[in-house]
Amino acid sequence: MGETEMRRIIFPALVVMFTAVTLYAQVQLPTSSIRGNVGVFIEPQIDTSRLDPYREVINQYPGTLQAAEAQLAIGMVYYDGRAYSGSMREFKKVLGDYPVFPVTDDAEYYIARSHSKLHQDSLAIEEARKVVTLYPNSEWVDESLNLIGWSRYIQERYADAIAEFRNIMDHYPACKYRDDAWMMIGKSYKRLGRYDDAINAFSKPITDFPPSNHQNEAQLEIGVIRMKVAQYDTAMVELQKVIDLYPSLKGKSKAQYEIASIWFIKGDKRRAAAEFQKIIDLYPNEQVASYAAFRVGYCLMGLKEYESAIKQFEKTEESYKDFSQKDWLLYFTGKCLHELGRTQEGNTYLQRLISEYKGSSLVTAAKRLLGM
């Protein structure tokens, strides 16, 4: 979801006064649990001395636009520092102390955003609706509409999300998030298992909004859905469009990976290996390249070319140090060695798997090969 950051505090007196003052808070401890990450959010501490220039303006020019903008700036320092409880407190002061000045819509929108950052989606929706209803001409209406629909999606209320995004399509023809709305409608239908409706929605950014930033992603989604419902030939045609039709690299490696996977599903392991190899050759820096390298080895194993498979698994481990499934490499290397009759050598890999990756789903299979 695109967020246009608010930076319109332009009153001349403050520009001169704060030229050398950063607007960003000094965070005293690292945080990894912002919106979208897993874990408990730890609110960072803000160096409140950086608020002093704004407070000075509020004291010198009480009840004025300058004071209102300075109060808004204080809220933004907290927001930019990810101290969202503090940002809401300061933005609410804008609403309470300066209700007649043209910064209340900014404050209301960032209250909604702060709730969203704290995973308080119902409250985020409530505040975002205030922006839409109380400030219909605000620059934040588009963002607020998008936030409402997105929050419903995050809540897994997919039918409600569809209704909110359709509201954008039906009543806000100038909204800059219309192609985003179609993408989210498609994703919501996909979650509901309504695949035909999802495909129709994903088609809109491709046909109705050229050049949409979502064309690659939308085309990829259509191909993935076709694959999901076992329409493999059609899926490959749709996925190939991602590779051939759009200049952006976004989604191309994923499309190529799915094409290779379809060949594997269809039973053509030789062709699948060649298609996975294309990812390694064309997109070597993409994260999916390491998985493609593993899948090349897996295809070779399926072709009973065990020596070649072992070499590929070893190459995968050497070339992709950050490959997250090292247990796979150990297990299938061990299995290939067993197939070659090199049982003792294979057992070394299987025993490593059991000792080093106790939580692996392959431990039981490894023990079975070891006769345990």
Reported confidence tier of residue 39, pLDDT bands at 50, 70, 90: low
> Domain segments of the chain: what residues?
325-372
**Above pLDDT 70, what percent of the chain?**
89
Rounded to whole angstroms, how far apart are CA atoms 339 and 349?
A: 14
Whether residue 26 has pLDDT greater than 60: no
Q: Which of 348, 352, 347 has its CA nearest to residue 368?
A: 347
Rounded to whole angstroms, how far apart are CA atoms 247 and 213?
A: 11
Reported confidence tier of residue 210, pLDDT bands at 50, 70, 90: confident
- The per-residue DSSP string of 128-173 comes to HHHHHHH-TT-TTHHHHHHHHHHHHHHTT-HHHHHHHHHHHHHH-T
Q: What pLDDT, in 10s, does the model give residues 125-143?
A: 999 999 999 999 999 999 9
Residue 6: its pLDDT value, please?
Answer: 42
Reported confidence tier of residue 248, pLDDT bands at 50, 70, 90: confident
How large is the average pLDDT for residues 142-150?
98
Whether residue 36 has pLDDT greater than 70: no
Q: What is the pTM of this model?
A: 0.81
Q: What pLDDT, in 10s, does the model give residues 158-195?
A: 999 999 999 999 999 999 999 999 999 999 999 999 99
Q: Which of 251, 228, 35 has its CA nearest to residue 150?
A: 35
- Kindly report the average pLDDT of the chain as a whole number: 90
How large is the average pLDDT for residues 27-38?
37
Reported confidence tier of residue 14, pLDDT bands at 50, 70, 90: very low
Residue 42: its pLDDT value, please?
Answer: 80
Rounded to whole angstroms, how far apart are CA atoms 93 and 89?
A: 7
Q: Which of 308, 130, 133 has its CA nearest to residue 316?
A: 308
How many other CB atoms sit within 10 Å of the CB of residue 91? Answer: 29
34: left (phi over 0), alpha (psi -120 to 50) or beta: beta
